[in-house]
Amino acid sequence: MTRDQFYLRYIQSLVIRNKQAQLQPLTLWEPQQIVWNDHIAPRIQVREPIRLLILKARQMGISTLIQSLMFARIVWEPLVHAKVIAHETDSTKAIWGMAERMLEQSSMWDYARKAGTTMYLGESMLSCATAGSPHATRSQNITALHLSEVAFWLHPEAWIA
């Protein structure tokens, strides 16, 4: 099994809340499959940085895909510092809820600890925050970063940091 296949298999075992308000394992929709197959999998396979700027319609499942990848990375890779920054508090809570559900419904629950909107697995961590400062991403050793709805940030230039 290749590295990208391993990650995809793990990601598809993570539990999400679907549009019918039911819990189910993540099954990639067509837009998610395109992003995975064309942009993520090839880079995972050769251990290249994944840098994507995705302009998309709403409700395509891309945040769910990225959140599942970030969760998988803190489970399977050491010393990963993953961070999600969303444009407003409600979005931050929604994205954090995805990660929290993935953790609580996984076999990793017994090995993790949480503090606020940060979860720790071994020496890796994933945290969520709300954009509000032009320095939101400064002074941090971030391994994986998901910036959500940057166009609606109070200080969108902060993503450059």
Partnered with residue 145 across adjacent β-strands are: 83
Q: pLDDT tens digits for 42-68?
A: 999 999 999 888 877 677 889 999 999
Q: Which two tokens mark 55? A: 């302009």
Q: Nearest 5 degrees, angle CA 106-CA 108-CA 114?
A: 105
- Beta strands 118-121 and 124-130 are antiparallel
The string of pLDDT tens digits covering residues 64-89 is 999 999 999 999 999 999 998 888 88
